[in-house]
């Protein structure tokens, strides 16, 4: 494995030591990402006004999920409209 660099070797060693675990709810996450992908195929652009702190929070959440923040906003709206996300009283 001399063709691997130091970082790649460290990753292999870490994996072999059992330091890596599968992400919880992988199938559920896979379905969410597939739905997001499907929903991005047919879309219209809209402009909205949003408070800066809300946008910052959304951008942070999207970054943690590894998706663009506009995709997260679209997904939240879709979940709300489809009844998967409900308003709390």
pLDDT single digits (tens) 19-32: 888 777 888 888 88
**What's the rounded Cα separation, in Å, for the pair 89 and 79?**
18
> What number is the average pLDDT over the span 64-82?
90
Helix, strand and coil content of the chain, in percent to the nearest 5, comes to: 60, 0, 40
pTM, 2 dp: 0.52
Split at pLDDT 50, 70, 90, the class of 43 is confident
> What number is the average pLDDT over the span 29-39?
83
């Amino acid at each position: 494995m001399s063709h691997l660099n130091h970082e790649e070797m460290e990753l292999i060693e870490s994996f072999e030591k059992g330091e890596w675990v599968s992400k919880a709810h992988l199938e559920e996450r896979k379905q969410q990402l597939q739905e997001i992908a499907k929903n991005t195929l047919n879309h219209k652009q809209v402009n909205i006004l949003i408070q800066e702190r809300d946008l910052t929070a959304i951008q942070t959440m999207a970054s943690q999920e590894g998706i663009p923040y506009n995709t997260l906003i679209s997904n939240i709206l879709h979940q709300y409209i489809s009844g998967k996300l409900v308003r709390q009283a």
